[in-house]
Amino acid sequence: MDKNSDYCHFYLDNPDFLSYVWITKTEHMRKFILIMLSLVPFILSAQKNCVNDEFTGTHRKMAKTTIAASKTVETFADLPSFIKTLPDDKVLTTRKPPISNNPYFLRVVEEERNVKVREAYIYAISRHADNDFELILGSDPDYRKSVFFKAEISGLPESSKDAYATLNTVRTKIKNQFGNVCGKMLLLMDNPVKVTVTGSLFFDIEERPGKTGPKKLRTTTAWEIHPVSEITFN
């Protein structure tokens, strides 16, 4: 509250909307309480998926929770040099047979690559309803000079699966660094976090490049590193 003003404001942040509310001092407390009570259902809904780390989605579950079979890890100095090696999105969106969202649909041949990007910067992190952590990576510590690319820390498969221990280690690192990130996107525009990222390729047929996410951080491809199998904070 600004003591020198006839108004006060509250900045409210929840998974579904952002509100900047101006109200007079004489009625601010009553309205503030009503507003906060109205947010309870949204807050509870956002938090219900943050009680565990299991992958709770169905779309391409097997591919998202396993590491590509390739024994080689291709190493790149930065995001631009890595992105240049990716097939054009049209190759994947028009391929025959097409990629399916069936839970048991495995990687197609174009996705069977493991890659390591030595230098990238985390500009944003959010947690999906399926428990995946989505990272928006930039190529430069200045977002105005960056090329952006997505990487996902997968929700965990069953503990009996081969990738469980590896993916669990990565999730632990992310949670130690950023917390649960439950219910909102964490933006790091002014202080992006430098990382080295290793993981498997994944083409997200539901992604609409350039159409989703923060306007200044949008990617130009539906390719992702998913799941991330190793991350180092530099």
- In 14-129, DSSP assigns E strands to 18-24, 73-78, 114-127
Q: What is the pLDDT of residue 15?
A: 40
Q: What is the pLDDT of residue 50?
A: 80
Q: What is the pLDDT of residue 34?
A: 66
How large is the average pLDDT for residues 74-89? 98
Give the pTM. 0.79
3-class SS of residue 172: helix
Look at residue 48 and tell me whether its pLDDT is greater than 70.
no
Q: Among residues 46, 194, 199, which one has the least CA distance to residue 112?
A: 199
Q: What is the mean pLDDT of the chain?
A: 86
Q: What is the pLDDT of residue 10?
A: 38
Look at residue 36 and tell me whether its pLDDT is greater than 90.
no
Residue located via tokens 């990716």: 86
How large is the average pLDDT for residues 61-75? 97
Q: What is the pLDDT of residue 96?
A: 94
Look at residue 105 and tell me whether its pLDDT is greater than 60.
yes
Q: What is the pLDDT of residue 184?
A: 83
pLDDT in tens, 2-23: 444 443 443 344 443 333 344 4
Q: What is the pLDDT of residue 7?
A: 39
Look at residue 92 and tell me whether its pLDDT is greater than 60.
yes
Look at residue 107 and tell me whether its pLDDT is greater than 80.
yes
Look at residue 193 and tell me whether its pLDDT is greater than 50.
yes
Q: What is the DSSP letter of 176?
A: H
> How much of the chain exceeds pLDDT 90, in percent?
73
Look at residue 93 and tell me whether its pLDDT is greater than 70.
yes
Alpha-carbon distance of 27 to 38, in angstroms, equals 17
User: Sign of torsion, CA 77 150 17 127?
Assistant: negative
